Amino acid sequence: MSHARKFRDEAIEILKLLDTEAIERLAAELHALGTRGGRLLILGVGGSAANASHAVNDFRKLCGIETYAPTDNVSELTARVNDDGWETTFERWLEVSRLCESDMVLVLSVGGGNLEKNVSPNLVRALGLAKKVGAKVGGIVGRDGGYTAQVADACVIVPTVNSEAITPHTEAFQAVVWHLLVSHPTLQKAATKWESTR
């Protein structure tokens, strides 16, 4: 079997296994966030940071939710890494952003953070702050969801169907899930361009 066919077949299997109830719970949390006028703060590292940037655009433009990602300001991000260290980058950004109980932190991550393995400790610390101030926590993550899944109010875990392809599948399906969310009838407020030109 070719790699392309194998990857496609795995993607089909993941799509069938996605927990739609978990997605609906995340949609409900985002709807409540928009209703109370809270902000959505999206955290991601690596490819998930790129996904966070794209998702910021979609939640702002299509859903009318005030949304930001710390990785969109590379000057501040790298200054914080250089001066304070990687582990506190997101936590300190959230503090300056005055994270509060009306807000929601959404994590896009392959592993969801794990202090024992020292993987994405900045996500773990950021989520600790979110829980401390009473902000809601959401996630679109892979593997077992890590720390994000443990503390989230709503978390979608991309199923693992091939342990050798967890990262590409998780980061690809982050996009599938957030596009589902921004086109969800309870969240979408503005039409997308091509659909509005019929």
The string of pLDDT tens digits covering residues 79-93 is 999 999 999 999 999
Flag whether pLDDT at 166 surpasses 90: yes
In a domain, 4, yes or no: no
Q: In Å, what is the CA distance from 165 to each residue of 8, 13, 113, 177?
A: 12, 13, 18, 18
Contact in structure between 157 and 34 (CB atoms under 8 Å):
no
- Quote the number of domains for the chain: 1
Pick the residue with more confidence: 174 or 118?
A: 174
In a domain, 13, yes or no: no
> Which pLDDT score is estimated for 118?
87
In a domain, 15, yes or no: no
**Residue 30's pLDDT band (cuts 50, 70, 90):** very high
> Which pLDDT score is estimated for 106?
98
List of E strands, 8-158: 40-44, 67-68, 104-109, 136-141, 154-157
> Which pLDDT score is estimated for 197?
78
Range of the domain at 108: 21-188
Rounded CA-CA distance 192/140 in Å is 23
**Residue 19's pLDDT band (cuts 50, 70, 90):** very high
The pLDDT of 124-134, averaged and rounded, is 98
In a domain, 109, yes or no: yes
In a domain, 1, yes or no: no
Least Cα distance to 116 among 146, 81, 145 occurs for 146
Least Cα distance to 181 among 14, 20, 38 occurs for 20
Domain of residue 57, CATH code: 3.40.50.10490
Flag whether pLDDT at 198 surpasses 80: no
User: Strands 136-141 and 154-157: what pairing?
Assistant: parallel
Which pair of structure tokens corresponds to residue 163?
Answer: 């342990």
In a domain, 133, yes or no: yes
Rounded CA-CA distance 98/144 in Å is 30
In a domain, 16, yes or no: no
Residue written as token pair 């991000």 = 77
pTM of the model: 0.96
In a domain, 193, yes or no: no
Percent of the chain residues past pLDDT 70, beyond the cut:
100
> Which pLDDT score is estimated for 1?
87
